Amino acid sequence: MSFYGFCHTTFPWLFKLWLRWEVRGTENIPREGKVVLAANHISLLDPPTIGAACPRPVHFMAKEELFRNPVFAFLIRHLGVFPVRRGGADREAIKTGLGVLKHGGVLAIFPEGTRSKTGALGRAGGGAFMMAVKTKAVLIPTAIWGSDLKRHKGWPKVRILFGEPLAYDADGGIGRENLEDIGEEWRRRILELQRQLVPPEERERFEALTAAAEEALRKRLARPAATETKQGGPDPR
């Protein structure tokens, strides 16, 4: 048995005991062919719990700083993790990700680009979906809840839900408009999936966080238009 196979067999038992791990929707993941799992990101536990939940081997990108320790780097490379430089387009990481998909593998991405500091869903970076579009991979919205252990009282319970494939314009190219459209649809679908995962006692907090995040996002998106008008640009009236 490979190291990945050993971990994929062992981790589910560990997560069930420690995290009361609950997984739903695995039937939505094609048993073969190229697949992109696009998940929200709230904790360092997200990659291992999603990887263990998926019935197929999963590849992840991880910040290159994690590879500075040679022992840890050796372990995570054998778990399908490869490095990416943050702060700009990393051509080598993109090439590796495209290679995974072109060979019919599964690639997991976190379109928000970083962990949420509040637990609320952030805006998706359009470029995150570029590899899916270029390879015409099946795109599976993946929601996770409860892995940010410090925000939840008592014995943790981590829930993962793989949604139905997200329909997108695979022939629309990797232009900004098409990628942003995919990002908006992904965000809408993740919120729908999260609402199925949130326990009743946390629903009020979730909706308040979501509403605050939506308002902050609207203000941020409105800022460039307001600046343009102030500087003598097109008046929206």
Rama region for 104: left / alpha / beta (φ>0; ψ in -120 to 50; rest): left
Fold of 3-230: Glycerol-3-phosphate (1)-acyltransferase (3.40.1130)
Whether 150 shows a pLDDT value over 70: the answer reads: yes
Give the pLDDT band (50/70/90) at residue 88: low
- Give the whole-angstrom CA distance, residue 174 versus residue 237: 32
- Among 20, 43, 18, residue whose Cα is nearest residue 150: 43
Rounded average pLDDT over 181-193: 95
Write the pLDDT tens digit of every residue in 6-30: 999 999 999 999 999 999 999 999 9
Q: Is 224 exposed, middle or buried (0-12, 13-18, 19+ CB in 10 A)?
A: exposed
Quick one: which of 66, 101, 59 has its CA closest to 86?
A: 66
What is the pLDDT, as a whole number, of residue 53? 97
| Separation between Cα atoms, residue 113 and residue 87, nearest integer Å | 10
| Mean pLDDT within 130-138 | 95
Q: What long-range pairs does 228-233 form, CB within 8 A, spacing at least 24?
A: none
pLDDT at 237: 37
- Whether 236 contacts 229, CB under 8 Å: yes
